[in-house]
Structure 1
Amino acid sequence: MTDRDRDDDGRARNARPRDGLGRPLPYGAEGVERAPEGVVRTPADSLAEAQRLLDEGKPFHAHEVLEDAWKSADGPERELWRGLAQLAVGLTHAFRGNGTGAAALLERGAENVEPFRESPPYGIDVAGLQAWARSLADEAKVRARVEPVVPRLAG
């Protein structure tokens, strides 16, 4: 039995470096700096940081930022952040060439942000994100390799 990598708090956490799409690299390889986990940000800061990471071609890392927002949100907004995190994971799968996974996560994310379509908080372009996600999901269903366009989270 091998010892598992652990973080400073003793939780299991893979310490292998990762590439820009979150894929594990061999120990000792040069990886991309990971987004710190468990950071509580304001909604505006979460959106800005996630957008920065998306624009840098790091949708996996953007997902981690959005996941932190999801886990720290209360009430109905949890589904908004969950949906946004799923859209980022769907984009990650699209960039990795996993059309099936991309389509599933993009569709799920688009559905989870639907309750916020009529009155989107924080300037989030819910309708635009849904259109983008559904279009990319349809494309990913017929072609594993797609050339996704990175969305704008807020207008």
Structure 2
Amino acid sequence: MGRPLPYGAAGVERQPEGVVRTPDASLAEAQQLLDAGMPFHAHEVFEDAWKSAAGPERALWKGLAQLAVGVTHAARGNRRGAVSLLRRAAEVIAAAEGNPPYGIDVAGLARWARGFADELAAAPEGGPAPAASPRLRG
């Protein structure tokens, strides 16, 4: 999940950073990582897109990165952090509703992030976090 491991411990390799991808490649790779239960790695893909984007798209990529980090926090058991990031991501993503690029389901993602945040906020402490894999495109 992207958490630090002790030196020498077996784990999943980090996602390479600073990779410039097309928006379609970023979305496809991030969706694959989300579906595989690797939201932190999806965050890295979104972060690369965010850092290389310009204009209004930059904020959308940042919101998608926040969404993936929110899912990461939920998977790690940090519900408070997850709820906060998911709600922030929903607001940032929803701002792109007027002109969603690349077939991104902006309205659906904002709704999903709010719903997942509400589900986490209402869940009993100490219980397992629900599985989460948002659909990036409609």
Percent of residue pairs bearing the same amino acid type: 67
Quick one: distance in 1 between partners of 2:54 and 2:62? Answer: 12
Alignment correspondent of 2:42? 62
What corresponds to 2:17 in structure 1?
37
Match of residue 57 from structure 2: 77
The answer to whether the aligner puts 1:26 opposite 2:9 as a matched pair is no
Is 2:135 the counterpart of 1:152? yes
Contact kept? 1:60, 1:92, Cα under 8 Å: yes
Unaligned runs of 5+ residues in structure 2 are none
- Are the equivalent residues in 2 in contact too, given 1:136–1:148 (CA < 8 A)? no
The alpha carbon displacement at 1:113 in A equals 1.2
Structure-1 residue corresponding to 2:91: 111
| Residue 140 of structure 1: how far off its partner (Å) | 1.5
Q: Report deviation, 1:118.
A: 2.6
| TM-score (norm. length: structure 1) | 0.83
Structure holding more helix per residue = 2
Where has structure 1 moved over 3 Å in runs of 4 or more? Answer: none
CA distance in 1, matches of 2:54, 2:88: 20
* One-letter amino acid matched to 1:27: Y
Tell me if structure 2 keeps the 8 A contact 1:139–1:146: no
Question: For residues 111 and 148 of structure 1, what CA distance do their matches in structure 2 show?
Answer: 22
What is the deviation of 1:119?
2.2
Alpha-carbon distance between aligned partners in 2 of 1:116 and 1:69, rounded to the nearest angstrom: 16
Whole-angstrom distance in 2 between the partners of 1:30 and 1:149: 25
| Deviation, structure 1 residue 25 | 1.0
Amino acid at match of 1:65: V
Q: Which has the higher contact order (CA 8 A, sep 6+)?
A: 2
Q: How many residues align?
A: 135
Write the letter of the residue equivalent to 1:54.
L
Is 1:125 the counterpart of 2:108? The answer is: no
**CA–CA distance in structure 2, aligned partners of residues 110 and 121 of structure 1:** 16
1:122 match: secondary structure: coil
Distance 1:108 1:100 in 2: 12
Unaligned 5+ segments in structure 1 are 1-20
Question: Larger deviation: 115-124 or 65-74?
Answer: 115-124
Q: Deviations over 1:59-83 (max 9, x none)?
A: 0000000001001101111100000
User: Could you say what the CA RMSD is over the residues aligned between the two structures, in angstroms?
Assistant: 1.1
